[in-house]
Structure 1
């Protein structure tokens, strides 16, 4: 594989904090929570009645007919991809830049895919019979629906992929995009992740396996990574998208560059289907591989957007990983968990957090972690509890994602 330099030229998101990057970033820096009470009738009997609902409904952005043909997860993905594509200056790419669709790819991930379409159509089948099942159900519920619809929007005729690795999926989409560019198969790849799983069945399932917090207090205070009172994650929804390009291609068209994507590491724990390795060995190997592929010294890392979901075991394991991989330099690293504000977007989490990591490097400021009132003494990290300046000069940052099945993905970004 070549050492082709890969850069970020476009960003897009729709999240519990805002319908675009600007509003989401403003909310993150302000330490504002997007977690709310669920007011739907179906939530009344659930053991958990809070979630990070999207701030701006995709039907407010997409054409009505188009939106009706997409699962909610694909709606999120398309909204974020449209913003990222415009942000990269590629809206009229064929006319203005002579962009070759054969050299454009998509790597859009999801942990679950079109689950709301699947479950809603099953309810229709039971209540009204097979003739009332939507003829669009399959193209809406298929896992690659988001990637396919983005490819139609941007005119991508290269590889259109959908990596699925639970909560590490969004970060894996970015890793796959790096590979496509460095293997010479694409000049531009639209990468990220999306999820829309705020539905009674997924919520009941996560709650019954003791993964979700059952704190029934103020919703904005429930997601509390690293705090001694943490008792599980808060489910969120949304999408994050990055436009990645080879540096040569981006410079040739005069693109604005946010940051450089230095490298990625992907590993598996082979420990347990749901619980992390308590020593964090698999995650440590992912971080070390990302550093090795990036060809940087651990001391270059000055910021980490941690996976830190607010689970008792996972938060401690990640702290061990960072100490094991960054060594003495860990004292100079500003760590944050933006899940404290957005909740956990599952397959969309790594991508939304990649957008936040890139913005942190670009703006030289780390978002805070909120609700950290009493830090667990087993976690020895410098965690930002207010927006914190990052150093000037050449620095790098890590974005970590870990998922059920023992999936670990770390992506290293560098200032540009």
Structure 2
């Protein structure tokens, strides 16, 4: 018999809130984390606004020793450790003195330590290789974030980092779900992280897919589903969830934030309209349909969708794919929101941060509103009732939320979360 899989811990380092309390307040009250970035302006980026977690030196010192922080400048690992350790503590779990063979981590990343890479390249070119320091490998290897988390918590089960562009976080949660459901682990710290800064964001600015018309009004820059959307706002951060089998959670009397019903991961193979940067709509629809099938629910049971919805020209296509996959449109369509209106696009961290937001909505009984979307795109309003795109947060009691992520390389992931009922 397959095990029921639940969520017992949450952690986040988001542009609009570091820590679950601050983040919950931000999404409930429509508080944006998008700010003007003077460095991007100095480097002559078209987009001069970004979403970046605000991390003080005092906060860093709560998670890292003085020795660890010496020469440390990997923002992705920083965010991942802060979010991961918060989730672990939030779940009421101890830091282990010996390896915990039942607990592991699957924590995704797009890149790791891009600033450390840059620093290393300059030192190597200046014949200062011996001055790179002893942590350069740990900070720059893609699995650095999972390695740091495993070391800080004493995890003895699977410790790995996945990487699948913008689907990374959602994929990590599904990988954790599969491992626990099959009985190979009791709990997995799942999530993802993304580095900050111009060396991550420059390529997207060069592709001309970033918002550049709102540099003087940063909070208006991210406009998913809007007729005046003009590209995504780059962001960064990390989200973390403790995924656990129900039996273990009940045995230790843990708070249960929600249940994972199932999901699906696939690819469009960059065929039939899919490419490195564009989705194959058939694959997107199949991913959603197979996720629903795997979760053993009826499409009519889905109360809300937390979409990928990046504020690009593909938003209308995403909504169309949802209507076809669910066979629901107009007033029958579920409520839908996009966290990117509040945080920007956090790239490889987006799926995990947005999953944390989805679980908070289920657990606390609300649906957050979309900023900057009073002018709903006409192609979207032709597909679904405008009332389904909330402008403000409402009190609600959603039972099932579908969360999807679609990434570069024509890759897709969809997961179904449910309000916990024992």
Aligned to 2:390: 384
Provide the aligned C-alpha RMSD in A: 2.0
**Equivalent position SS for 2:18:** coil
Aligned to 1:307: 308
* TM-score normalised per structure 2: 0.91
Q: Give the direction of change, closer, same or farther, for the CA distance of 1:155–1:60 in structure 2 (3 Å limit).
A: closer
Deviations 1:180-215 (A, max 9, x none): 10121100000001001322x332211111121122
The alpha carbon displacement at 1:93 in A equals: 6.3
| Distance in 1 separating the partners of 2:244 and 2:182 | 13
Aligned to 2:209: 211
**Equivalent position SS for 2:358:** helix
Show structure 2 runs of 5+ residues with no match. Answer: none
**Equivalent position SS for 1:260:** strand
The number of equivalent residue pairs is 406
The alpha carbon displacement at 1:102 in A equals: 1.1
| Distance in 2 separating the partners of 1:159 and 1:198 | 30
The alpha carbon displacement at 1:242 in A equals: 0.1
Deviations 1:142-175 (A, max 9, x none): 1100011111122111111211000110111101
- Are residue 319 (structure 1) and residue 325 (structure 2) matched? no
* TM-score normalised per structure 1: 0.92
**Equivalent position SS for 1:375:** coil
Q: Is the 8 A contact 1:338 1:353 kept in 2?
A: yes
**Equivalent position SS for 1:267:** strand
**Equivalent position SS for 1:328:** coil
| Distance in 2 separating the partners of 1:243 and 1:204 | 33
Aligned to 1:328: 328
**Equivalent position SS for 2:101:** helix
Q: Is the 8 A contact 1:37 1:219 kept in 2?
A: yes
Aligned to 2:115: 116
Aligned to 1:138: 137
**Equivalent position SS for 2:38:** coil
Show structure 1 runs of 5+ residues with no match. Answer: none
The alpha carbon displacement at 1:128 in A equals: 5.9
- Are residue 73 (structure 1) and residue 111 (structure 2) matched? no
Aligned to 1:400: 404
The alpha carbon displacement at 1:414 in A equals: 0.4
Q: Is the 8 A contact 2:15 2:52 kept in 1?
A: yes
The alpha carbon displacement at 1:24 in A equals: 0.8
Deviations 1:241-293 (A, max 9, x none): 00010001101111110100111210112224433236x22221111121111
**Equivalent position SS for 2:189:** strand
Aligned to 1:346: 347
| Distance in 1 separating the partners of 2:44 and 2:234 | 17
The alpha carbon displacement at 1:334 in A equals: 1.2
**Equivalent position SS for 1:186:** coil
The alpha carbon displacement at 1:332 in A equals: 4.8
| Distance in 1 separating the partners of 2:55 and 2:99 | 33
